[in-house]
Amino acid sequence: MEKVIKIEGKHKLRGTVRISGSKNATVALIPAAILANGPVTICGVPNISDVESLSVLLQDLGVVVDIKSSDRIVIDTTDMQNKPMIHEAVSKLRASYYFMGALLGKYGHAEIKMPGGCYLGPRPIDLHLKGFEALGATVTYDHGAYILDAKELVGTKIFLDISSVGATINIMMAAVHAKGRTTIENAAKEPEIIDVATLLNKMGANIRGVGTNVITIDGVDELSGCFHEIIPDRIEAATYIVLAAAAAEDVMIENIIPQHLESLLSKLHEIGIQMEVGVDRVHVKGHDGNIKATDIKTLPYPGFATDIQQPLTALLTQTTGQSIVTETIYTERFKHCYELNKMGANINVMIPSSFINGPTPLYGAEVCATDLRCGACLVIAGLIADGVTTIHDIYHIDRGYEDLDGKLTALGAKIWRETIED
C-alpha cells in the first residue's frame, strides 16, 4: 500500500497563505537544545516528519520532549544519557549529524551511524570531521558508525574548504564548551546559522560574527535553558512565491523575511512576474502569459539557493526561450527534470546544467518525488498541468512542508491523497 498525492491542474489560486517556521533551522535547533542543562522552549516548530524523527532520537537519549501545542515544544535534558545513536530514524534524516557536534561538545564523546536523507549526489561530511579533529577529537569509523572522542576540546582556527552550512553549525556546537577561542573562517552565512547561534547565545554561549565569513566562539562552562522562536522558512516561502507566480490569480504570502529571498525575487521581477513586496509579505498577482526565460546559477547564501532551483524549474517551463540552470552546490540535483519531461516539458540535462526550452504545455502524469524539493517542483507542475497528476514517494514532501494539502486547498487548489495498491 502506498499513499500518493493527486492534483487536478488549471485551477487558479486566490487567498492568503502563512509560512511556517524554518525546516532547515529547526533540524539544527533541536539537536543544539541538548547542550543546555535546563529546559529549552522552541516556538514556531513546523509540523513535519523530520521533527517527528528528531523527537524519536531525543527520546532515545532520555530527553523529555513535551509538545505544548502544534508549533511549540519543550526539550528537557535533565535525565539525558549519552548513548550510541543507532536508531533507524538516523538513517532517514541527514540532519541527525548535528548530534555529532552537540554530543561531542557536551560529553566529549559521540557515536552515531551514517546519517541519511535525500540523495542529491555526493554529500560528504569530511569538513565536519576535520573540524572536530582540529578541536582535538579523534574520529574513527566502525561498522557503519562514526565514533568521536576527545579528552578535552581546545579552541583553534578552522578554515572550511567549502562554506558548508552543516559543517559551520556542527563545529559551532562542538566549540561552545571548548577551552579558549575557536575561529571558523570561510564560514557559511545562511540565516539558519544565525538562528542557531542566536539560540546558543541565549543559552549562554559566546558566539560572534554569524552572518559573516568569520565566526568566533569563546568557550563557556555552562549553558542553561531559554525561550526561542524560529525564523520563517525561506525555502517554503520561495516555494509558495514560485507556486503563486505559476498558478495564482491573486495570492498573499505572509510571515516571510524578504531580505532572505532577494535573489529569487529579483529573478521573478526579471522574467515578468507581477508582485508587491512588503515588510513581512509578498503579494503575487501571477503573470499575463508573457514571461521570458532566464539563467540561474546556484551559489551559497546570499546567492541563489540550490533548494529553490527545483521548484523554479517548473515555472521556467512556461517562459519563452531557453532558460539555463547551473547547479554548483549539488551537481546531481536534476532528477526533477526527468519527471517534468514525463509531463511534457522539454528539458535537456548536461550536468552541471539543465536547459529548459519553453513555453511547453504540461499534462497530468504519474511522477515520482525523488527528493524533498523535487516533490515541491512536481506539485507546482501539477497545479499548472492539464488533467490529473499523481505524485509517488510523497514522504519526501512531508519531510519539509507543513500541511501542504491544507494550505493549497485553502487557496483553491484541487489536491488530495489516495492510498493505492503496490
Q: Give the pLDDT score at 135.
A: 97
Report how far Cα 212 is from the mean position of its chain's Cα atoms: 20
Express each pLDDT in 229-250 by its tens digit. 999 999 999 999 999 999 999 9
Question: How crowded is the C-beta side of 381, counted as CA atoms within 13 Å?
Answer: 38
127 is in an annotated binding site: yes
pLDDT of residue 325: 98
User: In this model, does residue 288 exceed pLDDT 90?
Assistant: no
Please report, in angstroms and rounded to a whole number, the separation of the first and last CA atoms in the chain. 5
The pLDDT of 303-311, averaged and rounded, is 96
- Is the pLDDT reported for residue 422 higher than 80? no
**Is 208 known to sit in a ligand binding site?**
no
Over residues 125-171, the pLDDT tens digits come to 889 999 999 999 999 988 888 999 999 999 999 999 999 999 999 99
Any binding-site annotation on 24? yes
Q: 231 a known binding residue?
A: no
- The pLDDT value given to residue 342: 98
Tell me whether the omega of the peptide bond preceding residue 124 falls within 30 degrees of 0, making it cis.
no
Phi, psi for residue 260 in degrees, rounded to 5: -75, -10
- The x, y and z cell numbers of residue 393, run together, are 514517494
* CA 209-212-218 angle, 5° bins: 25
Asked if residue 358 lies in contact with residue 318, where contact means CB atoms within 8 angstroms, the answer is: yes
Cell, residue 2? 502506498
What is the number of other CB atoms lying within 10 angstroms of the CB of residue 106? 21
C-alpha closest to that of 191 among 220, 170, 214, 212 = 212
pLDDT band for position 116 (50/70/90)?
A: low
Catalytic residue among 43, 118, 337, 368: 118
Computed over every residue of the chain, the mean pLDDT equals 93
Over 50: is that where the pLDDT of 282 sits?
yes
pLDDT greater at residue 358 or residue 317: 317
- Region 317-323: what's the mean pLDDT? 97
Cβ burial of 52 (10 Å; 0-12, 13-18, 19+) is: middle
Q: Which of 95-99, 270-274, 370-374 has the lowest mean pLDDT?
A: 95-99
Question: Is 329 labelled as part of a ligand binding site?
Answer: yes
SS3 369: coil
pLDDT digits (tens, 9 = 90+) for 8-55: 999 999 999 999 999 999 999 999 999 999 999 999 999 988 898 899
In this prediction, what percent of the chain has a pLDDT beyond 90?
A: 85
Is 125 annotated as belonging to a binding site?
A: yes
Angular region, 10: left φ>0, alpha ψ -120 to 50, beta rest:
left
* CB contact at 8 A, 328 and 295: no
Q: Is the pLDDT score of 84 beyond 80?
A: yes
Residue 318 backbone phi and psi in degrees, to 5: -100, 0
Confirm or deny that 126 is annotated as ligand binding: yes
Task: Give the sheet arrangement for strand 388-392, strand by strand.
Answer: 366-368, 388-392, 2-8, 414-420
Q: Which domains does the chain have, with CATH numbers?
A: 2-20+232-420 (3.65.10.10), 23-229 (3.65.10.10)
**45, 29 contact by CB (below 8 A):** no
Kindly give, in sequence order, each residue whose CB lies less than 8 Å from that of residue 373, ignoring residues fewer than 6 positions away: 235, 307, 308, 310, 311, 333, 336, 400
Mean pLDDT value across residues 98-113: 94
Is residue 122 predicted with pLDDT exceeding 50? no
- Please name which of 246, 360, 319 lies closest in space to residue 10, comparing C-alpha atoms: 246
pLDDT at residue 119 above 50? Answer: no
Residue owning grid cell 484541487: 414
Calculate mean pLDDT across residues 115-123. Answer: 51
**Catalytic (active site) residue 118:** yes
Q: Is 386 annotated as a binding residue?
A: no
- The DSSP code sequence of 269-305 is HHHT--EEE-SSEEEE----S--B--EEEB-STTSB-
